[in-house]
Structure 1
Amino acid sequence: MTGLEDAEWHARIECGGRVSGAGFLVAPDKVLTCAHVVENSDVDPVTVTFPQRPGAAPVAARVVAHGGWDGRVHELGDLAVLELDREMAIAPASLAPADVAHGDRKLVAYGFPAGYDDDGTIAEFRTVAAQLLISGEWIQLEAWSGHGQPLAVGFSGAAVTLLDTGQVIGMVTAAAGAHGVRTGRMMPTHVLARYWPGLSALVPVPGSGQVWGTPGQGPAHVGG
């Protein structure tokens, strides 16, 4: 399984009644997404839908943890943890060890850009200089080829997944704003865990390959 085939943990996020981005289930009642995807959650209701479960009703959610992103002073900490109104009978996403090699491997993300708001669509890409963290926060992404779906509005919060194993290595946070530039950024799992310690128990020990435990302006944003 590639992490997209039959994986029910991919989530679509709505804020104020409109699709605002993507997310992914990491525990029965917890979904990760970008803070800017739910930036109006203090006034607009947030709901989460799992499109790999056609016909399933949206689930109400609330922000219970935040990376500190404010969209004005800095772009760091663009993470929000959503708590669902009820636990889901869905296997959460499997996270890859923080040291997994992925520079020459195909990565995929499942997002909800314009025209694909309901069912979503897939983008393929690779990492650039995977060991280099821009501002200590992001890894740069580039399109796998010159064709296909680029990262765009609606991909923020999507899990960055290794095609060959289905494991998650990070979360899409931004895409290049310039027309024709097919790059973006992701926040790797160990940086996500820096902002939300509850994720630390889910990131496998480097070299183990095993998941353990359960957790109770620059480029344009791509979540809406």
Structure 2
Amino acid sequence: MAEGDGQSTPAAGRVRVLTPTGALRGAGIIVAPGSVLTCAHVVAGALRQDGPTAPVGAVGLDVGGHPDRARGEASVAADGWFPGPLDGARGGDLAVLTTTWRPPPGVGFARLGPCGDPDRREVHVYGHPARAPDGLWSRASLVGRGGPHRDWVQLDGLDSATAWIEPGFSGAGVWDPATGRVVGMVTAALGDRGTRAAWMLPMEAAARLWPALAPAVTGHAPPGAAPSAAKPPTDHQQFALADALLRVSLVEEDRAATLLRLLPAHIRHGVRDHPRARLQVFYVVQACVDHRDGRAALVAALRMLDESSEAAGAALALFDEVWPQGPGGDAP
């Protein structure tokens, strides 16, 4: 998958998925130039082809509500078909589309991030129901894993006044305002307005299905990459890194809880908890030092959380000084 600088805005990478004749079927996410994620059932419905194999043909793409209505076409990538549990399959309901279409100026592609542990934080979803085909926002909270697929995460509507997820939202990106990243993709809704429940496929689960997505989601090389040969920082240097991280306001505000949530599970689950902020952040650094991909993961998490403040810049500079990257480098 091509890589580059995505956009940390809620509108980045939003597209609609259409039938070949232009009828609306669902939503999609531009994750890199030429690559779009959507639901397998959206593509199958658009092309009227059911079955375990990828549909043949091209769906349409455009941007709802954009003054430039130029339409493109996309087809399923050779390695991009993962039909979901509602079709009796085990793939999570993901389709990776490839396209030569260039979206209108300003649309760009979305920056992705891992969902991490569902902790009832608020997320936003922009879908295209029949009553609002150009787009409609919905707000939800991440409740927990479950539903028809083991990797799916349940979304609950925040209140009765919030527009709810319905047909037309499938394939839409789930935007986490706390991190400025798309952390999931809507896959299904319960269809009961009284219950107001739906599900999403977390981006880290999408990356397991389609490994080419992993660097964009985690910000570092996928599992199996060569370990860094850099010398790990001493305990004194680890405390210095913790202090630098603690000067970043978004780290200090919640004792690195959001930073921790952005780390891969195999690192995150080894972090000890402590009520003192300095020791808590030190334990985060220490856990990263214990893993061969820890430096890249921690740098990526910091960049996801805050890549523009002076304090974040100082922390990144200290990483280069006391814990330099290995010869293979860190992923962007």
TM range (shorter): 0.7 to 0.9
Structure 1 stretches of 4+ moved >6 Å: none
| Counterpart for residue 37 of structure 1 | 42
1:172-211 paired onto structure 2 within 5 Å: 172-205=186-219, 206=263, 207=298, 208-209=300-301, 210=303
* CA-CA distance at 1:18 after TM superposition: 1.0
Secondary structure in 2 aligned to 1:108? Answer: strand
- Distance across 2 between alignment mates of 1:23 and 1:98: 18
Choose 193-202 or 80-89, whichever is displaced more: 80-89
Question: Which of 92, 96, 99 is equivalent to 1:84?
Answer: 99
Q: Which of 1 and 2 has greater Rg?
A: 2
Which of the two has greater strand per residue? Answer: 1
Question: Percent of counterpart pairs with the same letter?
Answer: 33
Q: What is the CA deviation profile of residues 104-159 of structure 1, one whole-angstrom value per residue up to 9, with x for unaligned ones?
A: 42201110001111x21111000113xx3544220111001121201101000000
Q: TM-score, normalised by structure 2?
A: 0.57
Cα pair distance change 1:29/1:140, threshold 3 Å: same
Cα pair distance change 1:123/1:32, threshold 3 Å: same
Q: What's the C-alpha RMSD, in Å, of the aligned pairs?
A: 2.6
Q: TM-score, normalised by structure 1?
A: 0.81
* CA-CA distance at 1:165 after TM superposition: 3.7
Which runs of 5 or more structure 2 residues have no equivalent in the other structure?
A: 1-6, 48-54, 220-262, 264-297, 305-329
Secondary structure in 2 aligned to 1:51? Answer: coil
1:56 aligns with 2:56: no
In the comparison of the two structures, how many residue pairs are matched?
A: 208
Which of the two has greater helix per residue? Answer: 2
- Distance across 2 between alignment mates of 1:196 and 1:151: 25
Flag the structure with more relative contact order, 1 or 2, with Cα contacts below 8 A and sequence separation at least 6.
1
Choose 172-181 or 16-25, whichever is displaced more: 172-181
| Counterpart for residue 128 of structure 1 | 143
| Counterpart for residue 110 of structure 2 | 93
Q: What is the CA deviation profile of residues 64-118 of structure 1, one whole-angstrom value per residue up to 9, with x for unaligned ones?
A: 111144854236430001111234464321112453x65242201110001111x
- Distance across 2 between alignment mates of 1:69 and 1:148: 27
Amino acid at match of 2:136: T
Question: Which of 66, 91, 111 is equivalent to 2:127?
Answer: 111
